[in-house]
């Protein structure tokens, strides 16, 4: 992998992990454009590092929330912290189930499948457009709602369906307040990212990693981290201001273009 490939893919991962445009879909598009199909499989360490970078970006942006939750679960009087952590645990169940029982089927979807990515991006566009016009409500989180949002997260495993877009949209359509929807969407994915990384390490083993090109790995990690912090902070502000329609237009244009190219 060249320096410029690592830089570009790191930025793409950092931006699209948080913006509602599908990181998996965009990585599939860019690896196809770069002539590097199957990049994640051939360079597993790079894939793990850029995902670690986006998880670290989330921790940086939400460091105060994470500190309060970490301390709060051990405080008897802080019931809200324990409930919120419980909601996160429940939200993980659907994605864990899909990852454990349908791993081969999911992996097959991440091949050279631009048509699927294009169609899923169009679906993401429709979802964002509808959500941006949802009335403002203040429905509190519950275990049932957390599970529903978790189902949306599991569906977003499909390349082209935005994870942040799907989870935030589902929360808003149910009636969760915009700041809380964004907060829960980004915090709920942190354990899944680290869990997925651990599973990849166990399945493939360190011996399969090619660490002969350390510099591109560092470049990709830093690019994903910096762009991720920027995108996460920006996305929180956009959700509060109901500005998801802009991304709906973008997803629709890219989705239609990818579909036309795939079928031409």
Q: Which helix (H) or strand (E) holds 187?
A: helix 178-187
Collapse the DSSP code of 21 into the 3-class scheme (helix H, G, I; strand E, B; otherwise coil) and give the result.
coil
pLDDT at position 39 is 46
pTM, two decimal places: 0.87
- What is the widest separation between alpha-carbon atoms in the chain? 62
- The span from the CA of 247 to the CA of 257, in Å, is 15
Q: Domain residues for 169?
A: 3-263
pLDDT at position 214 is 79
Closest Cα to residue 260, out of 161, 127, 122? 122
Give tens-digit pLDDT for 74-119: 887 888 899 999 999 999 999 999 888 887 777 776 666 788 889 9
pLDDT at position 205 is 58
Mean pLDDT (the chain, rounded):
85
pLDDT at position 202 is 75
pLDDT at position 31 is 67
Q: Please compute the mean of the pLDDT values over residues 19-42 and round it to a whole number.
A: 67
Pull the structure tokens for residue 132.
């941006």
For residue 210, what pLDDT band results from cuts at 50, 70 and 90?
low
Give tens-digit pLDDT for 124-171: 999 999 988 888 888 999 999 999 999 999 999 888 899 999 999 999
Q: Please compute the mean of the pLDDT values over residues 13-24 and round it to a whole number.
A: 87
How many CB atoms are closer than 10 A to CB 74?
Answer: 9
* Residue 200 to residues 22, 44, 109, 152, Cα–Cα distance (Å): 21, 8, 18, 23
Q: Is the pLDDT of residue 2 over 80?
A: no
Range with the lowest mean pLDDT among 6-10, 44-48, 211-215, 234-238? Answer: 211-215
DSSP 195-208: HHHHHHHHHH-GGG
Give tens-digit pLDDT for 176-207: 999 999 999 999 999 988 888 787 777 765 54
Closest Cα to residue 152, out of 74, 98, 212, 206? 98
User: For the chain, what is the domain count?
Assistant: 1
């Amino acid at each position: 992998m060249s320096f410029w490939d690592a830089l570009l893919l790191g930025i793409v991962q950092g931006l699209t992990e948080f913006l509602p445009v599908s990181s998996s879909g965009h990585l599939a598009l860019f690896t196809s454009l770069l002539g590097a199909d199957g990049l994640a499989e051939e360079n597993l360490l790079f894939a793990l590092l850029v995902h670690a970078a986006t998880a670290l970006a989330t921790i940086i942006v939400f460091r105060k929330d994470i500190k309060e939750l970490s301390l709060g679960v051990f405080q008897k009087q802080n019931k809200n912290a324990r409930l919120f952590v419980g909601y996160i645990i429940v939200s993980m169940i659907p994605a864990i189930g899909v990852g454990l029982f349908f791993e081969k089927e999911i992996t097959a979807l991440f091949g050279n499948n631009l048509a699927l990515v294009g169609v899923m991006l169009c679906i993401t566009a429709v979802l964002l457009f509808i959500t941006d016009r949802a009335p403002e409500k203040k429905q509190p989180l519950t275990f049932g709602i957390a599970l529903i949002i978790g189902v949306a997260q599991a569906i977003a495993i499909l390349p082209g369906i935005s994870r942040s877009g799907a989870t935030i949209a589902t929360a808003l359509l149910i009636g969760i307040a915009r700041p809380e929807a964004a907060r829960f969407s980004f915090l709920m994915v942190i354990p899944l990212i680290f869990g997925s990384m651990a599973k990849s390490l166990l399945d493939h083993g360190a011996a399969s990693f090619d660490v002969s090109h350390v510099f591109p790995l560092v470049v990709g990690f830093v690019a994903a981290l910096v762009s991720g912090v920027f995108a996460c902070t920006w996305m929180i502000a956009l959700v509060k201001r109901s500005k998801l329609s802009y991304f709906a237009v973008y997803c629709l244009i890219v989705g239609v273009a990818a579909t036309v190219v795939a079928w031409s």
